[in-house]
Structure 1
Amino acid sequence: MKTRGVHLQYSFEATDQRGAVLHNPLFDLLSAVREHGSIQHAAKALGASYRHVWGALKRWEETLGEPLLTWVQGQPARLTPFADRLLWAETRARTRLTPHIEALRAELERVLDEALDGDQHVLPILASHDLALPLLRDRASSAERLHIELRFAGSVDALTALAQGRCLVAGFHVPPLPAGSPVFAKVMKPLLQPGVHKLIGCVRRMQGLMVAPGNPLGLRGLADISGSTARFVNRQPGSGTRLLLDHLVDEAGIEAGSIRGWNDAPEDSHVAVAAAVASGQADVGPGLAAAARQFGLDFVPLVEEDYFLVCLKDALDHPAVLKLRETLASRAWHDTLSTLPGYAPWHGGEVLSLTQALPWWHFRVAKHPQAAG
């Protein structure tokens, strides 16, 4: 038996439509044959030729693998029992789904209107996981008519997507490290180029350890976890938080393998780590103060870090990027941030150079003065 499936599609037309009327040529044809009793009369009612209707019926029979008409010489053409059941079932389904079809039609009409509205802008952002960005998306939508298509990925994946043209803006985070960091420099430096990329200030946030209420194991830092029985849940390689942890253990001279669970199954977001600790699957994990609060956990601060948005230099004048910067600089956005523990505004909407915002990078700008950030 041939595999058969249902394919739905819609179209944009010059004329408007009201209600949930749907047309399908097969059911229009079957209804016409049942009503008029012959292919010839059905063809006339549909404004088509006898040959066209005949050929269409044969194609539908081949597709469905069932006969649709009963032919008896001297008698009107009749639908087969299969065709009758099919027509009845489609009518019943169409009637039952009418409210949903109308809602879909109205929503698609709204989408078309928004697309035609020159004041509405769309901005694709691929960013390292953050709890403030969904609030930024909501604020931009209501205040600036800016629709942010927000997707989360690791910092490395986000910057790679920007380089490949898969987003207009990327988000990543790093701590201010004036003394330098071989861990961050090795991973980040190849992905960002002074003079090519521009940073946009976003927020400053606190990273730390999320532990059970009351911190029953008395954990105050990574050194307390090293060599202990505490079960640690890590973040995925390539995420900004994982890079931060790699930097911190390297700076403290801690052997990562001495932390129980360091190389086990990682989580891909702050809330996933918080959920693992809250459910008792782990004793401690890295994350944000806001994520700890959300799951009723205690929080041990470790380091402040800066969350940047970044785009290509020539995208700074893009209307959607300009609206994004306006949102980040607004008083309303600063008030929204105040509701998130561990967050604070930080150069919101300002254009920052790589060499100034990331002084630990140690770019050799003297050799290439034309590439000033």
Structure 2
Amino acid sequence: MSHENSYTAEEISKILKVSKLTIYDLIKKGDLPSYRVGKQMRVDESDLEAYKQKSKGVSVQAQHELPTRPAPSSTPIVSQGIRPIVITGQDISLDILAKHLEKKTTGIRPLRSYAGSLDSLITMYQGESDIVSTHLLDGDTGEYNLPYIRKLLVGFSYLVVNLLSRRAGFYVGQGNPHKITNWTDLNRQELRFVNREKGSGARILLDEQLRLHGIKPEHLIGYNHELTNHLGVAAKVASGEADVGLGIEKAASIVGNIEFIPLIQERYDLVMIKRADNQPWIDSLMLILQSEDFKQELRAIAGYDLSLTGQILYET
């Protein structure tokens, strides 16, 4: 008996040179027949070839002449009509939002992707994200998010809604032994700093403040020591491996053994592309953001300001 190869969504994305989300969308629409083996979706080689021939314009009759094999009856067919909605960002509020969205919205399945603010906007531009969170300060105007969104999403129709506001500042050791109080203190060359990765909102905030205060990054010990989340930065300061780091207030309360020096109130916004097929879940999302049960969950987390939650800040 002949054995036919099968492929995962990731393998097909590499073969066709498209994102995995595109493959999932093709599966959802039924353009790529699929089945599950355990937790993994598989597509048979013959079905992939049939899709490629169809894309090239081969007639329906010719496609039917290609060898196909039905999925084994013991493995369930992937359910049709469920659209993956990718929510990109790192704050725990997004996990709470995904839970509410899945519970209260039919026909979608929220998926979480953890990336920094600038990288998240880039994935939206590339069509790989549906809901993007961002907290990017433009140092010249003092405005959050909109200057970056306008530059990156040129030609798109989009909606910007506030999720929450939160305080950002320095993590320092207990008792603030180095007496760090403001941005200019970073010009003291004896301080050991721990940084966030390029593309994160905290990194953009730091680089903008260094520029505005005339501080050269190369003079900051540890500038190239990068971590990928606020908790990691706070933990380095708490352990004494660094004298100062930049992040949000919530991480300081979680890690403990450090002090938080507030410097700025940052706006944490959501961005969504406006399309007819997105409108139903966007409408549902807006209701969730404005609902009392969603806000009640966020209030239980220290450091969140919900005074603007659910407000539309910009709409093309």
Query: What is the TM-score when the length of structure 2 is the normalising length?
Result: 0.67
Structure 2: gaps of 5 or more residues:
1-5, 9-33, 37-73
For 2:305, which of 344, 357, 360 is the aligned residue? 344
Contact 1:181 1:247 in 2 (8 A): no
Contact 1:184 1:247 in 2 (8 A): no
Q: What secondary structure does 1:201 align onto?
A: strand
Alignment of 1:69-88 (within 5 A): none
- For the pair shown, the structure with the greater C-alpha radius of gyration is 1
Equivalent in 210, 221, 241 of residue 281 of structure 1: 241
Please identify runs of 4+ aligned residues in structure 1 that moved more than 6 A: 182-186
- Residue in 1 aligned with 2:181? 220
Provide the secondary structure at the position in 2 that maps to 1:132.
helix
Does the 8 A contact of 2:166 with 2:248 survive in 1? Answer: yes
**How far 1:124 moved relative to its partner?**
0.8
Equivalence for 1:190: 151
Structure 1 residues 79-131: Cα deviation after superposition (integer angstroms, max 9, x where no partner): xxxxxxxxxxxxxxxxxxxxxxxxxx9xx96x96xx46x7x76421122x323
Aligned counterpart, 1:166? 128
List runs of 5+ in structure 1 lacking aligned partners.
1-6, 14-104, 355-372
- Deviation of 1:161 (Å): 0.8
CA drift of 1:233 comes to 0.4
Question: 1:294: which partner in 2?
Answer: 254
Q: Matched residues in 2 for 1:293 and 1:246: separation?
A: 25
Cα contact 1:183–1:243 (8 A) shared by 2: no
AA aligned opposite 1:286 = L
SS in 2 for 1:244: helix
Displacement of 1:321 in angstroms is: 2.5
Q: Which residue of structure 2 aligns with residue 257 of structure 1?
A: 218
Counterparts of 2:191 and 2:312 in 1: how far apart (Å)?
42
Q: Which among 119, 125, 150 is matched to residue 112 of structure 2? A: 150
Cα deviation, 1:26-57, whole Å, max 9, x if unaligned, reads: xxxxxxxxxxxxxxxxxxxxxxxxxxxxxxxx
SS at match of 2:293: helix
Displacement of 1:213 after TM fit? 2.5
Contact 1:236 1:267 in 2 (8 A): yes
Letter in structure 2 aligned against 1:285:
G
Tell me the distance in 2 between the aligned counterparts of 1:206 and 1:176. 16
> Taking structure 1 as reference, are residues 334 and 227 closer, same or farther at Cα in structure 2, changes over 3 Å only?
same
2:144–2:266 Cα contact (<8 Å) kept:
no
1:306: Cα distance to partner? 0.9
**Partner residue of 1:130 out of 91, 95, 103:** 91
Shift of 1:275: 2.1
1:237 aligns with 2:198: yes
Q: 1:274 to 1:143 in 2, by over 3 A?
A: farther
For residue 314 of structure 1, report the CA deviation from its aligned partner: 1.8
Cα distance in 1 between the residues matched to 2:306 and 2:99: 17
Tell me which amino acid in the other structure corresponds to 1:279. S
Matched residue SS, 1:314: coil
SS in structure 2 at match of 1:237: coil
SS at match of 1:153: coil
CA change 1:336–1:170 in 2 (3 A) is: same
The alignment partner of 2:171 has SS state of strand
Between the aligned partners of 1:184 and 1:249, the Cα distance in structure 2 is: 19
What is the distance in 2 between the residues matched to 1:130 and 1:167?
Answer: 16
Verify the 8 A CA contact 2:166 2:304 in the aligned structure 1: yes
The 1:186–1:321 alpha-carbon spacing in structure 2 relative to 1, beyond 3 Å, is: closer
- Bigger fraction of residues in helix: 1
In 2, the alpha carbon distance for the partners of 1:220 and 1:335 equals 33
| SS of match in other structure, 1:334 | helix
Pair 1:195–1:189, CA change in 2 (3 A): closer
Q: How many residues align?
A: 247
CA distance in 1, matches of 2:104, 2:273: 25
Superposition deviation, residue 209 in structure 1: 0.8
SS in 1 for 2:226: coil
The TM-score normalised by the length of structure 1 is 0.57
CA contact (8 A) 1:226 1:260 kept: no
* Matching residue within 241, 258, 270 for 1:309: 270
CA contact (8 A) 1:205 1:343 kept: yes
Corresponding letter in the other structure for 2:219:
S
Q: In 1, distance between residues paired with 2:251 and 2:161?
A: 24
Q: How many percent of aligned residue pairs carry the same amino acid?
A: 29
How far 1:194 sits from its partner (Å)? Answer: 7.7
For residues 188 and 209 of structure 1, what CA distance do their matches in structure 2 show? Answer: 26
Residues 143 and 196 (structure 1 numbering): CA distance in 2 closer, same or farther, change over 3 Å? closer
* CA distance, structure 1, for counterparts of residue 144 and residue 162 of structure 2: 22
Q: What CA RMSD, in Å, does the superposition of the two structures yield over aligned residues?
A: 3.3
In structure 2, distance between residues paired with 1:294 and 1:348: 23
In the TM superposition, residue 316 of structure 1 has moved relative to its aligned partner by: 8.2
